[in-house]
Structures are given as structure tokens and as C-alpha cells.
Amino acid sequence: MGKILNIAPNRRAVHPFDFKFGTDTGGYIGPHEIRSGGIHDAMNNGYSAVAPSVFREACRRWRATLPPSAAQVEAYSFVDVGAGKGRGLLLAAELPFRKVIGVELSEELARIAQKNTTIWKRVARPRTKIRVMHGDAMEFRWPRTPLLVYLNNPFDCALVERLASRLAAAAVSGSGLVDILYLNPACTDALTGTGAGSTWIPPEKGFFKLLWDALIEMNEADQQADPYGATSDRVSAFRFCAKSS
């Protein structure tokens, strides 16, 4: 417990977001506290929710990168890999995505996310229907592209490599439009396949390219309720780029 408190000294703070809407999305849950009985339990990085101000700014920056010739937000499905209690899903539903889907390994967290989704539907009138799925992201069947995949540093780099490979395959078999928003990007090299120890080689038909990397400042409310006592978060955005034949 002492180590957890050192990692997240403000872990029990109730976020104004939850006060306002009656949801339960805040706090910090350590990796050892999240157990599903699955083979990937030991590779999870625990749970904490994205600051709303950071998420909204990251989405704004991502939308600004969409070229006029590409599909707009309404054509994209948003998928939160390691959705936890679902705050990212609730915030994503403020935008007119085609679908908003959360994939969560922990049955307990998926249940909380589903409860939060029910509350959100009643009090916030989201623009997009939210679906919460309990399961392993490595077995998840991706919806048709375009996709915006959201990661809040959910698991170890070895799984990020596998995720990147599966997303690249989805891009190649579909429209090619797959983007990633990566909060607290601890495994960027694993995602792009450029790390010295990487075992994943990007497919011949394409690769993930860094669009932008930014340290995004939280607003005052988010800073006061952040489990780690942070004032900003780093976010990176990636886009699948098809190689010319």
C-alpha cells in the first residue's frame, strides 16, 4: 500500500466530473488490484482516468489533422483499449463518432464502466451510443475502419507491439484509416516497431507514423483531482501510413 500511495498520493480524490454527473470514474487502482484470471493480468498497468481537459484538447488536435479528402469524425469508430471505468468513453461520446466502444479486461471495471454509461446516457445526452465490452483486447474483433484507437498506457510494451500489428492488419484490410491517440506514451517504440528490442516488424504495406507529440496542460479542476498530483499529460498521435507499391 505504501508504494501505491507514493505512485498516486491523491488516489482517493473525487473528481468534479463525478460530482457533477454522479458517475464513478476517478481514483487510482494499482496493477496488482486488477485481476481477471486471464493470461495478460501481469501485463496491465493499473487504472487512472484521463483528465477531461486533456482528452478534449487531444481530440481537438487530432481532428485538426484530418485532411479534407479523408473521412471526418462521423465516419470513425472510437475504441478505448483498456477502458477502465469508462471516463474516456463518456468524453468521446460528446463527439459524433460512428461508434464508441470500450474494451476492458477486468470484469469489475467493465461493470462500473457500464453503470457509468447508463448514467451518462440519462444526464448528458451523448451524441454517440457507447458499448462496453468485457474481454481481452488481443482477441477483440475490430469494427470496420476508419478507427481512432485510444490508449491510456494500458499495458506492457510487448502487448503494444501485438496491438500495433493487429491494427495494421485491420488498416490494410479496410480503408487504411487507423489513427491512435496515446496518453502517457510509455511504449512509443513498441508501437512504431522502431525500438532496439522490438520483435515486431511493420507490415510491408504500411506503418504507424507519429503525427504529433504534446505536453497538454490540465485545467485547474483536473490538476486538483489528479491522482498523481500532475499538472499536465503527454499525448502522442499516430496515423497508419500505407507504403506506396
Measured from the Cβ of residue 216, the count of other Cβ atoms closer than 10 Å reads 18
Q: List C-alpha distances in Å: 233 to 54, 169, 209, 236.
A: 7, 29, 20, 10
Q: What percent of the chain has pLDDT over 90?
A: 58
DSSP state of 231: S
- The pLDDT, as a whole number, for residue 245 is 47
**52-98 pLDDT per residue, tens:** 999 999 999 999 999 776 668 999 999 999 999 999 999 999 999 99
**99-126 pLDDT per residue, tens:** 999 999 999 999 999 999 999 999 998 8
Residue 3 pLDDT more than 90?
A: no
Rounded CA gap, 240 and 178, in Å?
6
Per the structure, the complete domain to which residue 223 belongs is given by 2-242
The total of structural domains in the chain comes to 1
Read off the CATH number of the domain in which 178 is found.
3.40.50.150
Q: List C-alpha distances in Å: 152 to 49, 107, 184, 203, 236.
A: 8, 18, 6, 24, 11
240 forms beta bridges with: 208
- When pLDDT is cut at 50, 70 and 90, the band that residue 2 belongs to is very low
Lowest mean pLDDT among 17-21, 95-99, 153-157: 153-157
- The pLDDT, as a whole number, for residue 69 is 66
Picking from 45, 21, 185, the residue whose alpha carbon sits closest to that of residue 93 is 21
Measured from the Cβ of residue 116, the count of other Cβ atoms closer than 10 Å reads 24
N- to C-terminal Cα separation, the chain = 54
Strands 77-81 and 99-104: parallel
Using DSSP's 3-state secondary structure scheme, residue 191 falls into helix
For residues 192 and 195, the model is more confident at 192
Instruction: Kindly give, in sequence order, each residue whose CB lies less than 8 Å from that of residue 60, ignoring residues fewer than 6 positions away.
Output: none
- The pLDDT, as a whole number, for residue 5 is 41
